[in-house]
Amino acid sequence: MSRRYLFTSESVTEGHPDKICDQISDAILDALLAQDENSRVAAEVVVNTGLVLITGEISSQAQVNYVNLARKKIAEIGYNDADNGFSADSCSVLVALDEQSADIAQGVTTAQEQREKMSEDELDSIGAGDQGLMFGFACNETPELMPMPISLAHRISRRLAAVRKTGQLSYLRPDGKTQVTVVYENGRPVGIDTILISTQHTATIGAIADGAAVQNKIKSDLWEAVVQPVFADLEIKPDAQTRFLVNPTGKFVIGGPQGDSGLTGRKIIIDTYGGYSRHGGGAFSGKDPTKVDRSAAYACRHVAKNIVAAGLAEKCEVQLSYAIGVARPVSIMIETFGTNKIDEEELLELVKNNFELRPAGIIQEFNLRRLPAENGGYFYQNVAAYGHFGRTDLDLPWERLDKVDVLKEALKQPLSGAVA
């Protein structure tokens, strides 16, 4: 019997209060690592009307002007007008930072960390920065091997920001949210049920001052300038039955930190798979790569994506868990939801034999400390908005399909647990 159901994921623009915080936290991380690649960083940011608070724990030899860094990032996002209730030039920026606990540091600090290539013994000597569990996921619903709902929500959010920044829709302001509900039949996406966009805007649009007329104008413009371009190259598109909702409350003039406070790490589902896959609970932004909440989640995605790309499964979820100060994962789990082409025990052995899952090894393999010079010092802050996974606009090491060939070889072997 066929099963039809709906699944929804959301995204937010870079001007959402929580995302402002994530981007400032990761701008701090980028700046510290650029000067001192062994910086220990756990940077948290809070924003509210006219206020930015930078707190957390940092141990580094780098010299960084945190106030200027925060103002620069806020200006890049688009908060340059005090009339908007929050502005890069006029907001107060408070800094309250401590050094990392020595009890935590002793589990991950070693004299060999400066070395570019570590031996097996050295990789085993550097433990995880904390305990915890992380998940990674991939599926063949989209070319980037991401679930379709979160992929579409991110596409719409990025397009919403683009038409604001280019001036195509100059009345838009930085804060915004998107949501896409996808129709599934027998586990496969077949249609678009609902598209929701909530976007901050000016009170008037040119000579249009009436509230209803303003909303009608915004809805019409967003359909033409945002939705249609997003779906132009996609096989699955909105149809006559698709609901299109814009600013359902009637207006969205007061937004950003003036409308709601923001906090680093409060959009972990948007950062990952839109709720389609499980989540270990740890946020990413503001954390240096010794924190397995971040680096091991990237490794999980790398494993899952390569398994799906190699044709060993149509869907794959990977879980890792760690103990503080211990290098090797406490546990590894592979779940393919019945789509596996070889036995999951065989798949687990392939992962153990072909993927580096020790924290120091992940950092080394993905080069997570040495930021690429061609990005102008921007690396982590680039993924602090619009998702850490499935990013076709960025060359991210955890998105590379560099293990596909070795995994494909497994399909050619007479494995004991082959699935018919």
155-210 pLDDT, tens digit per residue, is 999 999 999 999 999 999 999 999 999 999 999 999 999 999 999 999 999 999 99
pLDDT of residue 124: 60
Closest by Cα among 214, 154, 207, 206 to 179 = 154
Q: Which CATH number fits domain 132-141+289-412: 3.40.50.150, 3.40.640.10, 3.10.180.10, 3.30.300.10?
A: 3.30.300.10
How many other C-beta atoms can be found within 10 angstroms of the C-beta atom of residue 211?
13
DSSP character at residue 67: H
Do residues 306 and 341 touch, judged by C-beta distance below 8 A? no
User: What's 4-11+147-255's CATH class?
Assistant: alpha beta
- Integer Cα distance of 100 and 60 in angstroms: 10
Structure tokens at 335: 């779940």
Q: In DSSP terms, which residues pair with 334 in a beta bridge?
A: 318
Structure tokens at 80: 């340059």
pLDDT of residue 127: 78
CATH 3.30.300.10: which residues of the chain? Answer: 4-11+147-255, 132-141+289-412
Structure tokens at 378: 């921007």
Summarize pLDDT for 8-61 with one digit per residue, the tens: 999 999 999 999 999 999 999 999 999 999 999 999 999 999 999 999 999 999
Q: What is the arrangement of strands in the sheet containing 132-139, beginning at the earlier edge strand? A: 132-139, 315-322, 331-335
Give Cβ neighbours of residue 179 (< 8 Å, ≥ 6 apart).
8, 9, 10, 11, 153, 194, 195, 196, 197
Summarize pLDDT for 373-419 with one digit per residue, the tens: 566 678 999 999 999 999 999 999 999 999 999 999 877 765 444 44
- Integer Cα distance of 50 and 48 in angstroms: 6
